[in-house]
Amino acid sequence: MLEKIHIMTNRRRHKRVSLLKEVDVSCPNNKADARGLIVNISRSGMVIYTTRPLSTGNEIVVKLPFVDEYKVDRIETLVGDVCWAKPLEDFYAIGIQFKSINEDDHFMLLAYLNYAEGFEKPCINE
């Protein structure tokens, strides 16, 4: 009798990294604005927790704040589509796929991703 072996593959195009950052979220299609909390991000998308539901397929705009090395506030605007939405206890988890990110408009985000993607699993010394 042959056994089936299931190999789990990662369907994601880019490595997800943790980022806990409060952001402003707007949905131009239905004029809905909300505050959100990014919980993880990659070069192709992110997961945000919001207190308002966002419908699958809607375009959203996220204002992502950074502080540069000169302590100057920088806001980078990310545009994407809601891929999935899951209601949780007191809020909603929203998966967003970016339309595009580039070096000119998203320098701080790409610098963070380059830095965070370099980390491997921690090593415990005995």
User: Which pLDDT score, from 0 to 100, does residue 62 have?
Assistant: 96
113, amino acid identity: L
CATH match for 17-117 among 3.30.2230.10, 2.30.30.30, 3.40.710.10, 2.40.10.220: 2.40.10.220
> What is the token pair recorded at 20?
């806990």
The per-residue pLDDT for 12 is 55
Give the pLDDT confidence score for residue 76 in this predicted structure: 97
Question: Residue 24: what are its φ and ψ, rounded to 5°?
Answer: -95, 135
Adjacent-strand bridge partners of 73? 67
**Buried-exposed string 65-88: b where 16+ CB fall within 10 A, e elsewhere:** ebeeeeeeeeebebebebeebeee
- Tell me what pLDDT residue 34 has: 86
Tens digit of each residue's pLDDT, the chain (126 residues): 444 443 444 455 678 899 999 999 998 877 778 899 999 999 999 999 998 888 899 999 999 999 988 999 999 999 999 999 999 999 999 999 999 999 999 999 999 999 998 875 555 554
Instruction: Report pLDDT for 97.
Output: 97
Q: pTM for the whole thing?
A: 0.79
In the chain, the N- to C-terminal Cα span, in Å, equals 43
Domain ranges of the chain: 17-117
* pLDDT for residue 29: 78
